[in-house]
Amino acid sequence: MTITSPHLGSPSSAWTDARLLYALEEVVEQELNRHLNVAKDWMPHEYVPFSDARNFPGLFEDGEAWQKEQSKVTEIGRIALVVNLLTEDNLPSYHHEIASLFGRDGAWGTWVHRWTAEEGRHGIVMRDYLLASRAVDPDQLEQFRMAHMSEGFESDNRHSMLHSVAYVAFQELATRVSHRNTGHQSGDPVCDRMLARIATDENLHMVFYRNLLKAAFDLAPDLTMQAVRDVIVNFRMPGHGMPGFERAAAQMAIGEIYNMRIHHDDVIQPVLRFLKVLEIDGLGPEGLKAQEELGLYMGALDSEASKFDEKLAARKARMAARAAG
């Protein structure tokens, strides 16, 4: 998509967040209309096994304390579900961040509110499922939620609208992949169907931001290349501040829900390939430098992912040998 703009061809120094917001408004409107045409509204309560639910201790005399054995969800599924839900729980902070960056008016504002409403469904259905199916300790889940939300959230990319667009183009896909793999590993077909529904939304969100990033490359290729380089090199999932995140992330990596290989192959590479980021020519010195550094980083990430693959394969072999012996 090529955009006609009075600023097209302007030097990088001519672009500000305000100018880019204005220049991209038409693209946002087009992408918003496309999104609304393809997105399907769905009912969270239709994905929750309420017939499995029973009272917890508290106000109810028949309350039954939570135990792991009450749910068919696997241990890695339980860990990933808590991480994924706590990430969704911070929606008020995410809304504040993007509303501050993108604004609340025009097509930008309409998208911000629509995105927030769709993301809200994800937290609703996941919490209802977890409580109805007794997949997690409800007391611990609430304690984690309070701790995580009380810390608030500050994006690494809050300084720049362009960096934020680049970040969410990758982060939405990362979230989709994490939900999808969690469903596959959960051990519960009901959970798998629920997370597949959420993943469909996340994929549409990724497409919106990816197409917006493409338009930004047309407008300001050098600045956009630098933003993509910065975001990929310093990428962190938004849930990194939650209690016990590092341990949970390590378990999710071993459990093949989200690890370096998945991050490289299923998240970063697909977006870079679609946008042909490493093939863009005509860049200025700063854009060319960022492109070269991005290429080098991707090579290093692939090498690190290969080392992780080898360790994971060795671990699986040891566990198989133990089981056989």
Mean pLDDT of 134-149: 92
Would you say 202 is a known binding-site residue? yes
Inform me whether the pLDDT recorded for 104 exceeds 50.
yes
Inform me whether the pLDDT recorded for 245 exceeds 60.
yes
- The mean pLDDT of the chain is 90
Residue-wise pLDDT tens digits, 167-199: 999 999 999 999 999 999 999 999 999 999 999
* 60 DSSP β-pair partners: 57
Q: Is 60 helix (H, G, I), strand (E, B) or coil?
A: strand
The pLDDT of residue 99? 85
The pLDDT of residue 303? 94
Inform me whether the pLDDT recorded for 6 exceeds 70.
no
Q: Is 57 helix (H, G, I), strand (E, B) or coil?
A: strand
Please, how many CA atoms are within 13 Å of residue 304, restricted to the half-sphere of its CB? Answer: 11
The pLDDT of residue 12? 54
Inform me whether the pLDDT recorded for 89 exceeds 60.
yes
Inform me whether the pLDDT recorded for 69 exceeds 80.
yes
The pLDDT of residue 9? 45
Would you say 246 is a known binding-site residue? no
CA-to-CA separations, 33 to 5, 71, 208, 209, in angstroms, rounded: 21, 41, 10, 14
Query: pLDDT-derived band of residue 61, with 50, 70 and 90 as boundaries?
Result: confident
Inform me whether the pLDDT recorded for 225 exceeds 60.
yes
* Nearest alpha-carbon partner for 27 in 159, 165, 163: 165
Mean pLDDT of 138-152: 90
Would you say 304 is a known binding-site residue? no
* Nearest alpha-carbon partner for 112 in 233, 208, 246, 253: 208
Query: pLDDT-derived band of residue 203, with 50, 70 and 90 as boundaries?
Result: very high
* 57 DSSP β-pair partners: 60
Catalogue all structural domains in the chain, each as residue range(s) with its CATH number: 33-48+66-317 (1.10.620.20)
Would you say 119 is a known binding-site residue? yes
Would you say 172 is a known binding-site residue? yes
Would you say 205 is a known binding-site residue? yes
The pLDDT of residue 4? 36
Inform me whether the pLDDT recorded for 128 exceeds 90.
yes
Which of 53-57, 103-107, 172-176 has the weakest average pLDDT?
103-107
Residue-wise pLDDT tens digits, 263-292: 999 999 999 999 999 999 999 999 999 999
Q: Where are the alpha helices (DSSP H) in the chain?
A: 17-38, 75-89, 91-102, 106-132, 138-151, 161-185, 189-219, 221-233, 245-254, 260-262, 269-275, 285-324
The pLDDT of residue 13? 56
Inform me whether the pLDDT recorded for 95 exceeds 70.
yes
Range with top average pLDDT, 97-101, 125-129, 239-243: 125-129
Residues 6+ apart with CB under 8 A from 59: none
Which of 54-63, 111-120, 148-157 has the weakest average pLDDT?
148-157
